[in-house]
Amino acid sequence: MSVMIRGEDRMRLRVVGDIDAELAVPRGGAGRCWISFSDGTLIEAVYGDNDTCRFAVSEEGAGITRIQRDGAGDVLRLDWRVEWVTVAPACNAARAMTYGEFMPVLPGLFG
């Protein structure tokens, strides 16, 4: 059970697998959009000057995500039972800022 996503052009994403669909890439995102999956995975998709789509994992979900190069663009594979997938423009998504936590100082550990 899995899905694969590929950028068809600057206007469409092709999804195949558990879900077969063509999703519209939102306009006005300056070549960027967010792809969200039912397992909790959040992907950033970025289009280059030559309409190639590159993917980056922003948040890991329950599934195993693999991104492979295919020509000039990427193909994303998510191995998990996917019930839904949605696309949002970069300007319509908000994320909490995460800050690294400091490790506690343990007396006597280093000396």
> Is-contact 41 77, C-beta < 8 A?
no
Task: Give mean pLDDT, residues 64-78.
Answer: 94
* Residue range 7-55, pLDDT digits in tens: 988 889 999 999 999 999 988 767 899 999 999 999 999 998 888 999 9
Report which secondary-structure segment, H or E, holds 77.
Answer: strand 73-79
| pTM for this model (two decimals) | 0.81
For the chain, state the CA radius of gyration: 17
List the chain domain ranges.
Answer: 2-90
E strand spans, 10-51: 12-17, 21-24, 32-37, 42-47
